[in-house]
């Protein structure tokens, strides 16, 4: 009968420990809700959405202008948990725990190259005046 301990081998090689860093749940959205390209640390993310980020500094970037069919929105500011933290479309945010990051946009004027709103087209008959309906008995 063989000794069961004959097949046991012990390695003196150091083992690598896998250390998983803690992450924080970060909600990212825009106000008003727009389709805007936003990136965190150079990675494009889906907005609105949730990201799991390690605590520390992260660079967040959003488009400075969001053209629409009839209107254009301009970047205004970044908010973290309702507090304004930056007026620049690209900024560094220090993540310390779960939070909500909001890109605030303001309604701007349409770009010269984008389609104009119908009210802004020139009227070939001159300025419009409201139509008056008079009580005209026949």
Backbone angles phi, psi at 125, to 5 degrees: -95, 10
pLDDT, position 11:
60
Of the listed ranges 31-35, 88-92, 99-103, the one predicted with least confidence: 31-35
For residue 114, pLDDT over 50 is answered with no
Find the radius of gyration of the CA atoms of the chain: 29
Quickly count: other Cβ atoms within 10 Å of residue 65's Cβ. 13
Say whether the peptide bond before residue 48 is cis (omega within 30 degrees of 0): yes
C-alpha to C-alpha distance for 73 and 39, rounded to whole angstroms: 18
Percentage of the chain with pLDDT > 70?
Answer: 68
What's the pLDDT band for 122 if we cut at 50, 70, 90?
Answer: very low
The CATH code for residues 24-109 is 2.60.40
Per residue in 42-69, pLDDT tens?
A: 999 999 999 999 999 999 999 999 998 8
pLDDT, position 112:
52
Mean pLDDT of 99-116: 75
pLDDT, position 69:
81
pLDDT, position 31:
96
């Amino acid at each position: 009968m063989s000794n069961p301990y004959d097949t046991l081998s012990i390695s003196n090689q150091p083992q690598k420990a896998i250390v998983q860093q803690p992450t924080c749940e970060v909600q990212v959205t825009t106000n008003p809700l727009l389709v805007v390209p936003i990136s965190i640390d150079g990675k494009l993310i889906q907005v609105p959405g949730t990201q799991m980020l390690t605590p520390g500094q992260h660079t967040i970037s959003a488009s400075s202008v969001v053209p629409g069919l009839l209107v254009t929105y301009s970047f205004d500011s970044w908010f973290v948990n309702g507090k304004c933290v930056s007026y620049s479309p690209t900024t560094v945010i220090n993540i310390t725990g779960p939070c909500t990051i909001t890109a605030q946009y303001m309604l701007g004027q349409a770009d010269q190259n984008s389609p104009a709103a119908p009210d802004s087209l020139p009227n070939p008959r001159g300025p419009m005046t409201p139509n008056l309906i008079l009580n005209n008995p026949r």
